[in-house]
Structure formats: C-alpha cells, structure tokens
Chains A and B, each alone.
Chain A
Amino acid sequence: MTVDTTSTAVQGLKYATRHLIHCPTSWEHYLLDAPSSGEENFVLAGSVPTGHPLFNDGPGHFHDAQSVTEEVREVGEFVGHRYFGVPRERPGLFYRFALALTDLRAWRVADADPPRMTTHLTARPDHVISGVPRGLTFGVEVRIDDVPCCTGSAGLVFLMPALHRNHIEHSRRALRAAPELDDAPDGAGWPVDPAEIGRRAPGNVVVCEPSVSAQGRLTTWILTRGDNPALAPSADGQVSGLLLLEALRQTSILTAGRACGVDADRAVVADWDVHFRGYAQAGLPLRCVAVPGPLERDAEGRPSVPVTLTVTQHRRAVAEARTSVVQDL
C-alpha cells in the first residue's frame, strides 16, 4: 500500500493570514450546504512567505516553491473534512506531489513588497465509498502577482484512525524485526556547508557530507533535526513531510552542484515529482541516494540537471523522486 508519512494538519509556521475562497461549481449544492461529490474549486490568496524560518533562509534569489506544497498540505485535509464530508478523525496524508515552475521570472525575489501569491486548487474525490471519498486529487495552479508561474498536482489519502495507527505500528515492528536490514552511517555525519544547498542557517541543513561513487551516484544521510521547530517530527514520531521534501531539495541541489557545477545560490528545483512510499521513523537513520542525469538546457537555455532520488530507512523505501535543478542565468 502506498502511504504518506506526514500529517497535513496546520503546522503553525510563519505564514501571513490568507484567505481560502470556495468557488462553488453548483449553486444549488452551495445553498444546500451538503458534502460535494464532484469537483470543487478553491482559491488561496495571500502573499509569499516573508518570515519563514526555512523558506526565507537562503541567498534570496528565488522565492521558495516549497511554500506551495506546504499550502496544499495545509488546506488539503481541511478541504476534505469541510467540503467532502470526510470524518474529521480521519487524517489526510499526502502520497504524491508534482510541481513544475513554469515561469522562473515570477519566482525571482524583487526589492518591492512581498508579491501576492494566488493558488488555484481543484479538488476531485477519489474512491468514494458510501458518499465519502477515500482520497482527493488536487490540481494546482499558482500565480505570483497575477503571473501564472507554477502548475502541479497532489494526491491525498484519508486513512481511518485505526488503520493509520496500525500502519505506523506495523512499520515500527518491521524495522525492529529485521536487524539484518539495518542501514546506518559509519559515524556521525557532517552537515554540508549551507551555501552548497541554498541555505544560510546551519540549523536548516538536513543532509550530511555525501559519498560519491565512480558513476557519479551520491549517497548522503538525512539529519532529522529535532532541534529545528520547522522540521520537527510529528507527535506520533514520524519524520515530517516538510523535512523529507527539504532533504530532497537539498540533495538535488547538492548533486547538481557536485556533478555539474551548478551554483547553489542561483539554483532552484524547477520540477518535482515525488512519491511517498512508506513511513519514516524519527530517530532512525535515513539514507538518500541521488543519481544525476546529463546536463541539459531548459526552454530558456538555462543549465538544467535532472536528478533521481531515493530515500530509504533500513533499506525500506520511504520516498522516491525525480527532480530537475535549474540554474538561473
């Protein structure tokens, strides 16, 4: 079974107040105030984050596109509960994300006020049983100051509480029951230089100095950073989704830099395609393996490096991703 590792509950991070606007497709449905059985549209209006401890840490060349994934994570569960009749005790877990930054110019940081960010979300119910969807699929379109600049999709599954607990427990038991699959670093890893992964604060570095094979494959260990509130594990001891995504981002940029000389200060992960495959327990070693592809050029002629990544814990797949790191001109 494909499972997410993260809760989508509001994380309480430093976002400005935003508006989530429901745009009813059916007027009658809106008046009846009944759960929807079809597609629903929403608009999330606000500005790009300005004081976020993670997203606003870095060279300041680009706005951090992870704010989009966080927004979708933030409202996805809420939308399921509020508009699709999913019982509130069922947590929403994301198992898939895909994002493509379609216009990098809009993502560049300007000197003016923080730009407005508008995210259009289309939610479609999946696997409806007795009128209640087991999941939602989201379409995502982002505009920054009215410039369309990102499209994407996300898959969210709602698990019954008992099932969710069973999955977590089963995962823990499985990790304990197969010591032969233990996979741990030889010693304490050294965090990489923040400048190499597009950050400035050492506390935001979540990947260790990697080893590189002859074929260019890069292996690193993920730091689970219990000391960083933005990246802290969930209450049930799971590694947060944000930490995993940040680890994928940092590893992608580190790989592109080491393999192709991409400048981390001007680099951005322009394409994301991430699948969460299993749970990741906080406190246990997490390995991330990255394989860079050949250096390419994007449509605007910028250097672009595709990277394939796998995150494992005790040799069990936690996440798989394909990214594309682009260096701005």
Chain B
Amino acid sequence: MRFRILGPMEIEGSAGSGVSYTPRAAKLRVVLGALLVRSGEVVSVQALTDELWQDDPPRTAITTLQVYISQLRKQLNTAEDGFGRETLVTRQPGYVLRLDPDQLDLTRFEALHASGRRALEAGDFAQASALQRQAIDLWRGPLLSDTPHGPTLDAAAVRLDEANVAALEQRIRADLELGRHRDLIAELQSVTTRYPLREEFHGHLMLALFRAGRQAEALRAFGQVRETLVEELAIEPGPALQRLHQRILEGDAGLLVEEAAAPAAVTVTESRGRPVALPAADPAFTGREDELARVVRLLDSAPAGTCVAVAGMPGVGKTALAVEAAHRCADAFPDGRLFVDLEPEPGRPLTPAQALTRLLRRAGESGPLPEAVEDLRDALHTFLAGRRLLLVLDHASSESQLRPLLPTAEGCRALITIRRTPASLAAVRTVSLAPLPPEAARALLTAVSGTGAAEGVDDVRRCAPGGSDGAALLEVAGLCGHLPLALRGAAAQLAARPHWTPRTLAARLRDARDRLDALRVGELDVKDVLVRGCAAATAEQQRAFRLLALLPDAPFGLGPAAAVLGLGADAAGHAVEGLVDARLLEADDAGHYRFHPLLRLLAVELLARHEPEDSARDAAGRLAEAYADTVAGAGPSAAADTGLVTLVGVLRTAHAHGAWQAALRLADSLSGGLESHAAWPHWRAAHTLGLDAARRARDRAGEARMLRSLGDLAWQQRELARCEELYEAAARAARGCSDDHEHGRALVGLVDVRLDAGAFDEAGALLDTALGSLPDRSPARFDALRAGALLALDLGDEATATARFTACRDLATALRDRRLEAYARRCLRRLTDTPHEPEPAVEVRPGVWRLREAA
C-alpha cells in the first residue's frame, strides 16, 4: 500500500499503480486525509467532526463519522486485504491510522528533508543537495489539493508548505556551495518571483549572479527585493541580505567558490593532500595586465624560498591581483593553493599562531594541533615538504606576522599582500601597485556598474570613451583618483541607482569637500579604509600627513614640506619618506612628492579635525613665508615659474588659518608678477586677501600697499572711478602711518588718473607733492619721474620728457631693475627716433599702452 497526499490524494493498493483506491466521496477523503497527515497519532472524534463540518456539525455527526470510518476501512480492505482493519483502529478519544514510514509520501518527505538538513549542517553538500532534491520531488501539488480542508488539514498544509520551501532553500544552498551557481540562476529567478518576500532566495540569487560574474545584476537584484520589501511591508532587507549586498559591492573575493566543472560531477572538497582553498577570481578584475604578468612570472621562476609581495596604498586592489595571480599559477602549484586573510577583522590582525592554525586547517589537517608557534610552524613545514604549493597571505600587517608563515620548501611560494614593502624580509620580491590608468579605471567602472552592458548597443556606444557617458565615466574615474576601491564605490552607486547616469554621479563627486562621503555606499566606505591606512602610521607620521595638506594641491619638493612641518631639510626628508613607506604619499622620479587625491581630501579633513588651531596657523604661515622668500629671491619671474595659481593658493591657505603677516608678505611678493602678467583674477584675489590680512594685523603700511596695488589693477582695467578711490584710500592709509614712500606711490597713481582725464594742472600739482616726499633711490621715485615725463609729453615738452626718462633710466640702472630700465630706454628711443613718426599708442607704464581717442 502506498499513500500519496503531497498533491491530490492517491492510494495504491496491491493491484499496482494502475488502480486507484482513492475514495470518490469528498467527506471520506477529508477523514482519510486528516488521519494521514497525522499518521500514527490519535485523531479525536471532535477533531474529525470539526474537519468535516467545522462549526456546523449535524446532529448525527458522530454516527455519520462512524459510518465514514467504516466505509474507509472497507475501501482500504479492498485495496489490500485486511489493511483497513489492521491499520485504521479505534483509540480513544478517536481513531489512529498506523502506516509504515515508506507507505506515506509525507513521512518520506519529512525524513529526507531532515537528513538533508543534517548533511548540510555537516558540510556534505552533495548529499544534502541530493536528499533535498528527492524530498522536493515527492511533491505533486499542494497538500491534498483535491480534498476540502478543515482546521487540521489547513494547519498541516501551512506547516508542510513551509517545510517544502525550506527543503528547496537548503537544496539551493547546497548547490551553491557545490559551485552550481550558473545552473541555479534561472531557477532562482523563478523562485524569487514565486516567493517575493523570502529574502533567503533573493540572497541566493544575488550570490549566484555574483559568482557568475554578473555583479551588476546581483546588485540590481538587491535593489528589487529592497524595493519590494519597502513597498509591501515598509521594511528594509534583513541584516544577512544587507551584509551580502555589502560584500558584493566590495567585490569580496571570499564570496566566490570554484565553479563546478560539470553539475553532476561536483566534489565538495579536494582530496586531502591537494588542498585548494582559494576565492574564485574577481570577474570584474581588469587593468592590471603588466603587474599580473610580473607577479606570475616571479611566482613561476623565482628561486626557491623567494616570496612575492604585492604592496600598495589602501584600496589599490592588492587582494584582487593576488587572487587572480594565484588562479593563473595553478599549473605551477599542482599540490594546492591556500588563501588566508591575516586580518579578517579590521584592526585585529591574526597572531602568527592563529594564522598557522588556519593554514593547517585549510590544508586539511583535522586532528589536534600544537599551540606553540614553533610547533605549528614545524607542522606546516612538514606538510609543505616535498609539495609544490602556493600560500596566499592576504592583508599582512607586519614582517613579524609573516615570518613564521613563509615556506622554505623547494616548490612552495608565498604570495603576500601588504601595504608597506616588507623591506626587512629577505628574498621577497615586491610588486608595487599604483592606481589604475584612466582608461582601465573607466573599464572597471563599466564592468562593475554594468553601465551600458545590459541595455543595448546604444548604451554601449554611449559609454565608450568617446560617447557622452564615456567622458563622464572618465571624469568619475578621475574624481576617484583611479583608485579601484573608490571606483567600486562609485560603480556600486550607479548599479544601485539605475536612475543615475554617470553624469549625475560626476556632478555629485565634483565637490571635493563631500567626495569621500559621497563615495560611501552602505558599509563600503572608502574613507574608512583610508582612515585605517592612516591609523596604521605612527603619531608623528599622522601629524606630518595632516600638516602636508596645507601644501598646494600639486607635486611638492622638500623645501615646502620642510617649511610646513617646521623641520630642517634632512628631517623633513626623513618624515616625508616615512609617509611614502606608509603609502600615505607618493614619490616620483623627479624627487617630488604628492598625495593621492583622495588621501589629500582625508588629510584636509583630519587637519581640520585634529590639528590644534595655532599649530595649523604656524605651519601655514611658515609655508607662506617660504614661498615669499622664493619669489623675493628670484624676482617676478618666480611667480610665473611657480605658478600664480599655486602662490595664490598658498596665500589663501595662510589667510584661512589666520597667518596674517605671512599672508601679507606673500601678497606683497606677488605684486610684480601679477602686474606684469595682467593676471587680473589672481591679482584681485591675492591682494584682496592681502588687504584683509593687513587690516587684521593692523599693518597700516601693508594696507596702503594693498590698496595701491588694487588701485593699479583698477587702473589697468580702466575702472577709473574705483581706481581713484583706491589710490586715495592708499594715500590716507600711508599718511596715517607716515609711510612717505607708499604715500608718494599712491599720489603717482592719482597722477596717472589725472593724466588719463587730461587734467594736467592737477596732475602736475600731485606730482610735485609726490616728488617732494619720495626717497631719491626708490622704485616709487622712478614712477614719479615716469609720470612727470608723460605729463611733459602731453604738454608737448619733449625736452623735459627726455630729461625725465633719462633720469628714469639712470635710476633704474642704479636700482638694478632691468624691467624698468628697458622701459625707460624704449621711451627714450621713441623720443629720439628720426623721423619722428606719430605713435598710435603711448607706453604709459612698462608693458601698458594707452590707446587714445583721436582728437
């Protein structure tokens, strides 16, 4: 006899499967169904009457039930002689149906499901998968789908449905462990549609997609389930799903498993002695062909006992490269490849003993292990002896952590990822990683985000380098500093928000102040990773790191670094090189240093948060003074060489930190370069800051200089009304501090304004006053003589003009100012040229010509 209730009721008797003994009467099926779902238990008369008639039993309910039981016994006896009499027995307070476990599909399902669960818990994934599959296959439809359900059958249906779904979930989980992710995707997509609120199925789908290299779709799957949960239940996905999402965002190689070669031939573990415990390669790995080739070559060909280290700044992609290299070296290490994360929790590196224990366990050692590091190391070396095996030691924190783990056997190698170059370890070949080249960075963005890959040809074209989104992707890559971790953060935002375009993201990342925060997605936190990298440095290095953020955002030499750190050149060199070793600074072949763009943003933030105000002010002041010295020593050309943008940036920094005197001094030093290059925006910015600095420092002479310089700017721009106001304010400020020299210069400025307006008498009077107060040997006197010569020219007195330009030339020669001397010579040459041709313009100041309206 066989009873099947996982679907419509079927009873198979001694006549075989071709003859059905299922009662035709629904009431009989109800009674039999209730007894079957509680097979082996006493089902009370009350329960059976409830099942048959619920709240409205007939007066003859008990009698009728007895009739049904009697009929059932006859039916069962028909199926197999005496079966009804023997199995359906009366037991107070009701009836019990006694069946062998194999006779009822429900019992078999529960047994298979329980065995499968135990196999899964034991890690026997193949067995678990097989058992659960058998259990699920017993189902032909909903429980007793052809039978009316009362309370008992309803309750059983709910319980068994749940068990069925659990069996399915466990089977899928086992299959995923077996590397059957590609085969599961279609099924999971169907299952998630059928059970839209079952997060575990969505999690399995995400994992399967990720393992199949479809990271973007995995992230999109999360977005969909999240949307469903929020819309239907107003809740966020549970912690497990959130964690999985986070790990996929991070491209966590630990989620990956070796793919099954063929679904039917999966073996869960390699045979002992040939262990492979390696995350699967990252499907989005890209842009590291040269470095990868170098690592693989070193692993293949380096002498015995040599180890290979992959070093670089936080987030640069060391682990991904090591995992990829380990996969490519499979042939070179036929006896196995073992991967161990030496810092599985941030800030808590494994001790050597812990690391050795993990290695040995991964190698398949299941027995008791010694506790002492030396003994563990001996055990590892014993295991490695005579084998060709690769150890991948990820996230190494120090040489001391690494030393006991390094293999010495002939055919074994260690591949290490570490931030610093492990300089004190002998026989380690280091491959340093830099951020990706721009095009590779764009490719990584595209691969991880799935931008343009899923929709169609047009989208692919748009995301190509020359496409509209391609340029935006390149910009995003640049804003991420081409750092793989940051690129993954950016790509994750694009994948998680399909309504964002690369241009949307680029716009959000442009503001440097918010960029690090804008790159945070869930728990994928670029800033956090960079902060941890910084925290690993010494306190002294951390302070240097912060202070160097005061430098202009450009490569810098030791001079500015020494100034900002307040150290001598040697000590500054030592400090800066320490930061390079800690991967917090980069050095180039020309002897310049620079921040990675994102590290600089972090340094700026840390400076504001942790550096005392007076310390930052002093450092900014020292920097401004150093640049002022450079400009003053080399003349205005230094301003052009160094770059006005840089110099104005330094001035702005000094001003922002309240280093007033230093800011004013730097502003003063820039005057010549700003004027001669007509660098108007820089000029206005620099000397407006300088003016403010002078006022805050209560430096009246400085205020006069800045006002006069801003007057010169307005004069060049021909904003004559403003120019006059500024010169007059400069004259008042200079008078207030008895600065005759600056007072005279302001007056000469006013002379130029009057000359421009044709007010020659007023110009003459102002000039006399200026000449009376100016020192004999000063640039200001040169200016006064120049204005006097121009006045004479305007009045048609060429002899006086010649005499004054001659005096200008002599004074410029005495002052050794070649620019002024050249100007005076040009003016004299024009006066002495024969024939004397009318000029369309007059050079009123060096390099500045006045084009006059014709009379």
Contacts and interface: CB of A to CB of B under 8 A. Distances in A.
Interface string B714-726: 0011110000000
A14 B855 CA distance: 9
A33 B825 contact: yes
A10 B840 contact: yes
A275 to B, nearest CB: 26
A19 B680 CA distance: 14
Interface string A277-307: 0000000000000000000000000000000
B115 interface: no
Given A78-B841, A116-B718, A20 B848 contact: yes
A15 B851 CA distance: 9
Contacts of B819: 30-31
Contacts of B718: 17-19, 45-47, 116
A31 B840 contact: no
A17 B716 contact: no
Contacts of B679: 23
A315 interface: no
A44 B841 CA distance: 12
A77 to B, nearest CB: 8
A15 B853 CA distance: 5
Interface in A61-82: 74-75, 78
B850 interface: yes
B385 to A, nearest CB: 71
Contacts of A74: 840, 851
A118 B851 CA distance: 14
Nearest to B825: A33
25 contacts: A10-B851, A12-B854, A13-B854, A17-B852, A19-B717, A19-B849, A20-B849, A20-B850, A21-B847, A21-B849, A22-B848, A23-B676, A23-B679, A27-B635, A27-B637, A30-B822, A31-B822, A32-B822, A33-B825, A43-B678, A45-B717, A47-B718, A75-B851, A78-B849, A118-B717
Nearest to A47: B718
B853 A14 contact: yes
B574 interface: no
Interface string B315-357: 0000000000000000000000000000000000000000000
Contact of A19 (B676, B837, B848): B848
A32 B826 CA distance: 11
B677 interface: yes
Interface of A is mostly: mixed
A22 B853 contact: no
Nearest to B717: A45
B636 interface: yes
A131 interface: no
A283 B850 CA distance: 36
Interface string B661-702: 000000000000000111110000000000000000000000
A16 B853 contact: yes
Nearest to B819: A31
Interface of B: 635-637, 640, 676-680, 716-719, 756, 818-819, 822, 825-826, 837, 840-841, 844, 847-854
A47 B818 CA distance: 33
Contacts of A10: 840, 851, 854
A24 interface: yes
Interface in A1-56: 9-10, 12-24, 27-28, 30-33, 43-47
Contacts of A170: none
Nearest to A13: B854
A88 interface: yes
Contacts of A20: 841, 848-851
Interface of A: 9-10, 12-24, 27-28, 30-33, 43-47, 74-75, 78, 88, 116, 118
Given A19-B718, A31-B822, 10 more contacts: A12-B854, A17-B850, A19-B849, A22-B849, A27-B636, A30-B676, A30-B822, A33-B822, A45-B718, A116-B719
B678 A78 contact: no
A18 B468 CA distance: 43
Nearest to A27: B637
> Which 4 interchain pairs have the tightest Cβ spacing?
A12-B854, A27-B637, A20-B849, A10-B840
Nearest to A14: B853
Nearest to B847: A22
B676 A18 contact: no
Contacts of A116: 717-719
Nearest to A28: B637
A130 B637 CA distance: 29
A241 to B, nearest CB: 16
Contacts of A32: 822
A13 B680 CA distance: 28
A88 B837 contact: yes
A9 B840 CA distance: 8
A35 to B, nearest CB: 13
B229 to A, nearest CB: 45
Contacts of B680: 43
B826 A33 contact: yes
A12 B677 CA distance: 28
Nearest to A20: B849
Nearest to B848: A21
A17 B837 contact: no
Nearest to B637: A27
Given A27-B640, A43-B678, A88-B837, A19 B850 contact: yes
A15 to B, nearest CB: 5
Contacts of B716: 19, 21, 45
A101 B765 CA distance: 45
Contacts of A30: 676, 819, 822, 847
A31 B756 CA distance: 27
A9 B680 CA distance: 29
Nearest to B823: A33
A17 B840 contact: no
A230 B635 CA distance: 46
A271 to B, nearest CB: 25
A1 B637 CA distance: 43
A31 B635 CA distance: 12
Contacts of A28: 637
B700 to A, nearest CB: 30
Residue in B716, B717, B822, B850 whose Cβ sees the most chain A Cβ within 10 Å: B717
A16 B854 CA distance: 9
A123 to B, nearest CB: 14
A21 B676 CA distance: 9
A141 to B, nearest CB: 13
Contacts of B851: 10, 15, 17-20, 44, 46, 74-75
A133 to B, nearest CB: 19
A45 B826 CA distance: 22
A15 B850 CA distance: 12
Contacts of A78: 840-841, 849
A1 B409 CA distance: 83
B609 to A, nearest CB: 37
B315 to A, nearest CB: 39
A13 B840 CA distance: 12
B753 to A, nearest CB: 12
Contacts of B844: 19
Contacts of B854: 10, 12-13
Given A45-B717, A46-B718, A47-B718, A21 B840 contact: no
A239 B678 CA distance: 37
A75 B718 CA distance: 17
A24 B676 contact: yes
A20 B852 CA distance: 11
Nearest to B854: A12
A33 B640 CA distance: 18
A257 B717 CA distance: 38
Nearest to A22: B847
Contacts of B717: 19, 45, 116, 118
Contacts of B636: 27
B848 A31 contact: no
Given A30-B676, A78-B840, A88-B837, A17 B756 contact: yes
Nearest to B833: A88
